[in-house]
Copies of this chain bind each other. A is one copy, B any other.
Amino acid sequence: MYSDEYFMKIALDEAKLAFDTDEVPVGAIVTINGKIIAAAHNLTETLIDVTAHAEMQAITAAENYLAAKYLNDCTLYVTVEPCVMCAGALGWSQISRIVYGASDEKRGFTRFAPNALHPKTTVIAGVLHSECENLMKEFFKKKRRN
């Protein structure tokens, strides 16, 4: 079986696509039984839409793929801790597992909406933490320079 690190690397590749188009670099994928069924990166600037976070698009795409509103057997890999909005959406989806890389102390759900997820959802934090965090730091350093 593939490891969580393996899938997080793919989410990181998505985040790098966001970075390259001047979007806050967050990437996400959804898997079921080790198969990737959705991949997305943040598009809030491109679409001029605050709801276009990587996770939101990945949820919509995965539900579309499965033709089902619930993601009970799925795992979401996302490079940064989901925000309140995304955690709320993940709660509605009843997703089985969430694996994230870097923490987000300013906007993360664990601080602002700790009960947003479905009670059965498992959360794993810190997978490829440094790589995910460094990409964010590099982005905001570049922003400050401009």
A→B interface (CB under 8 Å): 44-45, 48-51, 56, 59-60, 63-64, 67-69, 83-89, 91-93, 112-113, 115-116
Tell me which residues across on chain B come within 8 A of A64, comparing CB atoms.
Answer: 48-49
Copies of this chain per assembly: 2
Kindly identify which residue among B48, B59, B112 contacts A63, using a CB–CB cutoff of 8 Å: B48
Tell me which residues across on chain B come within 8 A of A51, comparing CB atoms.
Answer: 51, 56, 59-60, 89, 92
Q: How far is the CB of A43 from chain B (nearest CB, A)?
A: 12
Contact B92 A88 (CB under 8 A): no
Given A44-B69, A69-B44, decide whether A84 and B50 contact each other with a Cβ distance below 8 A: no
Q: How far is the CB of A45 from chain B (nearest CB, A)?
A: 8
Q: Tell me the complex Cα distance, A57–B60, Å.
A: 13
Chain B CB count within 10 A is highest, among A45, A64, A88, A89, for A88
Kindly identify which residue among B60, B63, B87 contacts A84, using a CB–CB cutoff of 8 Å: B87
